[in-house]
């Protein structure tokens, strides 16, 4: 992101909520890989062996890559088949979740569950599932990521990974206050569960 590079070049006090490899900026994030692995393990514990994945974003975004790698880690730890044909890449929107799930359902690939890297994308995927006259969780179990407020109001409520937003904001604010107070800050990175 050119704007972030410009902020860094001009020593503008900046803290990222998320990560950007190759930058000297401080950042606060969650352990996306571990959380995704736990979400997929939840599906495995409920008897699912063929689990599709729709990422939250294209793979050039670190959170998307980390969440996809967590998905792969969970499958590998249980000796389950990783199949590229049941992985689709979302684009931060309900529409992309809807389109990617339609593609999965049209592919005739068999899967009984889906890990979806963002609740926003998952809500679109759920609409595609309903449109195809399938039920959640009876026909396809779904786990999202982010714990957006709207996840609870979906029918049925979306199972999702909780992101501790208040803690992320608190840590980011504390870094900024230190920077603005003139305290020397070395590049730090906080990763929360």
Indicate the pLDDT class of residue 21, thresholds 50, 70 and 90. Answer: confident
pLDDT of residue 11: 82
Rounded-to-integer distance, Cα 141 and Cα 175, Å: 39
pLDDT tens sequence across 117-170:
999 999 999 999 999 999 999 999 999 999 999 899 988 999 999 999 999 999
pLDDT of residue 65: 96
pLDDT of residue 164: 96
pLDDT of residue 19: 85
pLDDT tens sequence across 25-75:
889 999 999 999 999 999 999 999 999 999 999 998 899 999 999 999 999
Query: Other CB atoms closer than 10 Å to residue 172's CB: what's the count?
Result: 19
pLDDT of residue 182: 83
Query: Other CB atoms closer than 10 Å to residue 61's CB: what's the count?
Result: 19
Q: Which residues of 70-86 are buried (b: 16+ CB within 10 A; e: fewer)?
A: bbbbbbeeeebeeeeeb
Indicate the pLDDT class of residue 4, thresholds 50, 70 and 90. Answer: confident
Residue 1 has pLDDT above 80, yes or no: no
Indicate the pLDDT class of residue 92, thresholds 50, 70 and 90. Answer: very high
């Amino acid at each position: 992101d050119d704007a972030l590079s410009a902020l860094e070049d001009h020593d503008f006090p900046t803290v990222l909520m998320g990560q950007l490899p190759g930058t000297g900026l401080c950042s606060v994030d969650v352990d996306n890989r571990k959380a995704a692995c736990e979400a997929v393990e939840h599906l495995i514990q409920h008897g699912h062996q063929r689990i599709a994945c729709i990422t939250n974003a294209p793979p050039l975004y670190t959170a998307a890559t980390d969440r996809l790698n967590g998905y792969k880690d969970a499958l590998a730890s249980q000796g389950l088949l990783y199949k590229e044909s049941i992985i689709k890449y979302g684009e931060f929107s309900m529409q992309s979740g809807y389109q990617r799930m339609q593609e999965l359902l049209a592919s005739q690939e068999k899967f009984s569950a889906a890990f979806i890297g963002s609740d926003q994308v998952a809500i679109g995927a759920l609409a595609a599932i309903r449109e195809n006259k399938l039920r959640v969780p009876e026909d396809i179990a779904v786990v999202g990521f982010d714990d957006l407020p709207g996840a609870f109001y979906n029918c049925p409520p979306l199972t999702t990974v909780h992101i501790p937003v208040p803690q992320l904001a608190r840590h980011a604010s504390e870094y900024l206050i230190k920077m603005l107070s003139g305290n020397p800050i070395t590049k730090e990175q906080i990763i929360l569960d």
